[in-house]
Chain A
Amino acid sequence: MSGVELIQQIIAIVTNQNLIAKGILIILLTMYLLFSLILSRQIFLLNNTVNQVTFSPVFKLLGLIHLVLVIGLLFFTLTAL
């Protein structure tokens, strides 16, 4: 690959808004995935501290749904975009 072709490829990448958006989304989603992991784990731990029989499983499920949504979105961004 010549120098001109390389520069043209870089310009193509830089001017491709979808590609830039994908890169930013992957970075943000990865950071948010860490947060959602911590949140989900904390919800599980705190429910052990004070357990409300009727609602605790629902709350844990909500934490898991949040985590699954983030993983799904990250997976979709990596593969489909």
Chain B
Amino acid sequence: MQNNLQGEFVLNNTTSSQKTSEEKITQQDTPLTVPEQKQKKEPVKKILSQRVHNRPHFFSSYCEYPEGITFENQNPDEIILLLIRRDFITNLPWILGSILLAVVPFALASIITFIFPNLLLSQTTQAVILAFYYVVVFGFILTEFAIWYFNVALVTNQRIIDVDVSGILFKDVAETQLELVQDVSYNQNGAVRSIFDYGDILVQTAGTLPNFEFDRAPQPSSIVRIIGNLIDKEVNEKNP
């Protein structure tokens, strides 16, 4: 993320992983404060044209300027700056569980005939039972994936939206305007989180408004920096 000449914060055209180490050092050296020089409001189209949008995959857990993403109640001039999901590596337990469930019938085939020698089910019945089992496994995969996929946080140029799906029947959508965000911090505890670079991000809002927590978000330092810059920008716009 860098400032352009007008003081508008823009994300770099390349992703952070593509940047050279030299660029990274330059970025780290750049103070994360908003320049005092204020800018005139640019038309949205012009702002958009200055940035390269990324098209997220279905398994993307972090995307700057995601293209082809829309959400409920999106304002016409609202631009999504960040798409955040739980780090994809956190899906590993259920992916491994699904693989295990998929191979269980083959492993149990010989054991079942040994345990139940008097089991006399027709081939068709056995086939239907097996098919039902795999449909249930498919349903399990769909449910787990849906819970991960729809647990999403969106940072736009106007607000922060947090969609929490704790089960397939439980959806909780919360949002706050950027001007109401007071502080943003993250914690990254443990070896696994450090290795895969993900952590919990806490967005604190003003007064009695509920705080936001992005659970196990990837690249937490980048997210915190971007949201921090947006807060600074809001503050500077209000108090020039």
Contact = CB atoms under 8 A, between A and B. Distances in A.
Interface of A: 17-18, 21-22, 25, 28-29, 32, 35-36, 38-39, 42-43, 46, 48-55, 58-59, 62-63, 66, 69-70, 73, 76-77, 80-81
Nearest to A70: B135
A28 B58 contact: no
B129 A73 contact: no
A59 B147 CA distance: 13
Interface stretch (B103-111, B163-171, B208-216): B163-171
A28 B132 CA distance: 9
B7 to A, nearest CB: 31
A50 B135 contact: no
A21 B121 contact: yes
A77 B71 contact: no
B119 A53 contact: no
Interface residues on B, range: 35 or more
B152 interface: yes
B124 A81 contact: yes
B44 interface: no
B101 interface: no
B125 A66 contact: no
Contacts of A59: 58, 146, 149
Interface of B: 55-58, 68-72, 119-122, 124-125, 128-129, 131-132, 135-136, 138-139, 142-143, 146, 149-150, 152, 154, 163, 165, 168-169, 171, 173
A42 B163 CA distance: 14
Given A46-B150, A50-B71, A59-B58, A80 B124 contact: yes
A53 B136 contact: no
Contacts of A49: 71-72, 150, 163, 171, 173
A77 B119 contact: no
7 A-B pairs with the lowest CB-CB distances in the bound complex, closest first: A53-B68, A55-B58, A46-B150, A51-B70, A21-B125, A49-B72, A50-B71
B125 A22 contact: yes
A27 to B, nearest CB: 12
Given A55-B58, A70-B135, A42 B128 contact: no
B171 A81 contact: no
A81 B125 CA distance: 7
Contact of B139 (A39, A52, A58): A39
8 contacts: A32-B132, A42-B168, A46-B146, A50-B71, A52-B56, A62-B142, A66-B135, A73-B131
B153 to A, nearest CB: 10
A56 to B, nearest CB: 9
